[in-house]
C-alpha cells in the first residue's frame, strides 16, 4: 500500500500536528460531552421541580374549592332549616358547579402526579448515566494520557537508540583501531623476535642491565676489597697462604664475575 | 486494521478488503499527482464509500491509533496535495 491512505497515515504519525492534536483531543470532547449531559440533567431536574410546583398549586386550589363546597353545603342546610328552599336550591346548584371543578382538578392532579413520578425516575436514571459517563470519561482520559506518555517514552527511546547507534559506531571505530594497533604491535613483536627488526626500544633494557651489572660488579669489588683487607689484617706469617689464597680468590672472583650477571639476569 | 476518515471517525476493516481498497487508493494517488480534479472526486467518493461499506464504525470514545487515514469527504484536491506535499513525502 503506497496510496493516499498510507501516505496520510505516515504524515500524521510522523509529524503529530499540534493543532490537529488539540482539535482531536478526546479528553476535551469527553469533557464537553459531560458538560452537555449535566446541562440536560439540570433541565430535567428543573422540569421535575416545575411539575411539583404545579401539583402543589392544584392541591391548594382543591382545598379552597372543597372548603367552598362544604360552606355552600352548610348554607343550603341552614336555608332549608329556615324554610328558604329557594336559597337552599341556589346554594346546592353552586356547590354542584364547584364539585365539577373539583373533579376536573383531581383528574389534573392525578395526571401531574404521574408525570412527576415519571420525570423523577427519568432524572434518577439520567443521573446514574451521567455518573457512569463521568467515571468512564475519567478512565478514558487517563488511558489517553497514559497512551500519550507511552508515545513520548517510545519516541524518547527511539531517540536514545539512535544516539546509542552513534555511540555504537564510535565504540566500533575504537575497537577497530585497537585491534589494528594490537595487530601491528603483534607483528612488530614477531619481527623483533625474528631479528628482522632492530630493537631500538630494547636499548633502555640494556641500560638497566648495564646499571645492574655495574652495581653488582661494584658490590663484588667492595666485597673483594673487604676480603683483601681482612687477609692483610690476618698477619704477614700467612703471606704464602695469602698468595695462594690470592690466587684462589682471583679464580673465585673470575668465577663470580661470570656467574653473578647470569644470576642477576634471572 | 483501523482507518480514520478525517472529520468522520474511525472504522475497523478486515485486512482481506485491503487489496480492493488498495486499487482505489493507488488510483486516487495517481489522480492527485496528475491534478485530475474530476477523477479525484470520483475516486475519493468511491474509496470512502467502500471503506464505510466494508468497515464497522468504531465507537466515538474508543482510542485506537489509525493505521490508515483518508481525507474528509469534502476535501479538495489542492488540500490533499498540500497535505501530502507538506512533509515532502510525495516524490516528484
Is A178 or A47 the better-scoring residue by pLDDT?
A47
Closest by Cβ to A7, choosing from B27, B61, B84: B84
* ipTM rounded to 2 decimals: 0.76
What pLDDT score does A193 carry? 58
Placement of cell 491512505 in the chain = A5
Work out the number of other CB atoms within 10 angstroms of the CB of residue A128.
10
Sign of CA dihedral B6, B7, B8, B9: positive
Q: Check CB contact under 8 Å for A5 and B69.
A: yes
> Does residue A240 have a pLDDT over 50?
no
Q: Check CB contact under 8 Å for B63 and A143.
A: yes
Q: 3-class DSSP state for residue A56? A: helix
How much is the average pLDDT of A171-200?
Answer: 58
- CA dihedral of A10, A14, A17, A20, whole degrees rounded to 10: 40
* pTM of the full structure: 0.36
The CA distance from A27 to the nearest CA of chain B, in Å, is: 9
What pLDDT score does A161 carry? 44
Does the CB of B67 have a partner CB in chain A at under 8 Å? yes
Tens digit of pLDDT for each residue in A70-122?
999 999 899 888 888 899 999 899 999 999 999 999 999 999 898 888 888 88
Rounded Cα–Cα distance for residues A59 and A106 (Å): 8
User: With contacts defined as CB-CB under 8 Å, which chain B residues touch A144?
Assistant: 63
Q: Where are the beta strands (DSSP E) in chain B?
A: 2-5, 9-12, 56-57, 68-70
Q: 3-class DSSP state for residue B7? A: coil
Q: Which residues of A touch B (CB under 8 A)?
A: 1-15, 26, 29-30, 136, 140, 143-144, 147
Confidence of residue A155 (pLDDT cuts 50, 70, 90): low
What pLDDT score does B49 carry? 93
Closest by Cβ to A1, choosing from B22, B47, B80: B22
Does the CB of B3 have a partner CB in chain A at under 8 Å? yes
Amino acid at each position: 500500500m503506497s496510496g493516499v491512505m498510507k501516505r496520510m497515515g505516515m504524515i500524521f504519525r510522523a509529524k503529530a500536528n499540534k493543532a490537529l492534536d488539540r482539535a482531536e483531543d478526546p479528553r476535551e470532547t469527553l469533557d464537553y460531552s459531560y458538560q452537555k449531559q449535566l446541562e440536560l440533567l439540570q433541565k430535567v431536574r428543573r422540569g421535575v421541580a416545575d411539575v411539583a410546583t404545579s401539583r402543589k398549586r392544584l392541591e391548594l386550589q382543591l382545598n379552597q374549592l372543597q372548603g367552598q363546597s362544604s360552606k355552600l353545603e352548610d348554607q343550603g342546610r341552614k336555608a332549608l332549616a329556615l324554610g328558604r328552599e329557594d336559597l337552599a336550591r341556589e346554594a346546592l346548584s353552586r356547590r354542584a358547579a364547584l364539585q365539577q371543578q373539583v373533579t376536573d382538578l383531581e383528574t389534573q392532579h392525578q395526571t401531574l402526579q404521574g408525570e412527576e413520578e415519571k420525570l423523577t425516575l427519568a432524572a434518577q436514571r439520567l443521573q446514574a448515566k451521567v455518573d457512569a459517563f463521568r467515571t468512564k470519561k475519567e478512565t478514558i482520559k487517563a488511558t489517553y494520557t497514559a497512551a500519550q506518555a507511552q508515545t513520548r517514552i517510545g519516541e524518547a527511546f527511539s531517540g536514545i537508540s539512535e544516539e546509542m547507534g552513534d555511540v555504537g559506531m564510535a565504540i566500533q571505530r575504537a575497537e577497530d583501531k585497537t585491534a589494528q594497533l594490537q595487530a601491528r604491535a603483534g607483528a612488530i613483536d614477531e619481527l623483533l623476535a625474528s631479528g628482522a627488526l632492530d630493537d631500538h626500544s630494547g636499548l633502555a633494557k640494556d641500560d638497566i642491565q648495564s646499571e645492574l651489572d655495574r652495581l653488582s660488579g661494584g658490590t663484588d669489588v667492595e666485597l673483594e676489597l673487604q676480603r683483601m683487607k681482612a687477609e692483610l689484617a690476618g698477619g704477614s706469617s700467612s703471606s704464602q697462604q695469602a698468595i695462594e689464597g690470592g690466587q684462589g680468590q682471583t679464580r673465585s672472583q673470575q668465577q663470580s664475575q661470570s656467574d653473578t650477571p647470569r644470576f642477576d639476569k634471572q | 486494521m483501523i482507518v480514520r476518515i478525517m472529520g468522520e471517525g474511525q472504522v475497523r476493516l478486515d485486512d482481506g478488503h485491503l487489496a480492493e481498497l488498495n486499487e482505489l487508493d493507488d488510483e486516487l494517488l495517481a489522480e492527485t499527482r496528475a491534478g485530475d480534479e474530476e477523477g479525484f472526486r470520483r475516486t475519493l467518493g468511491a474509496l470512502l464509500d467502500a471503506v464505510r461499506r466494508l468497515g464497522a464504525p468504531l465507537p466515538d470514545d474508543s482510542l485506537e491509533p489509525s493505521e490508515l487515514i483518508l481525507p474528509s469527504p469534502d476535501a479538495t484536491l489542492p488540500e490533499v496535495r498540500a497535505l501530502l506535499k507538506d512533509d515532502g513525502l510525495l516524490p516528484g
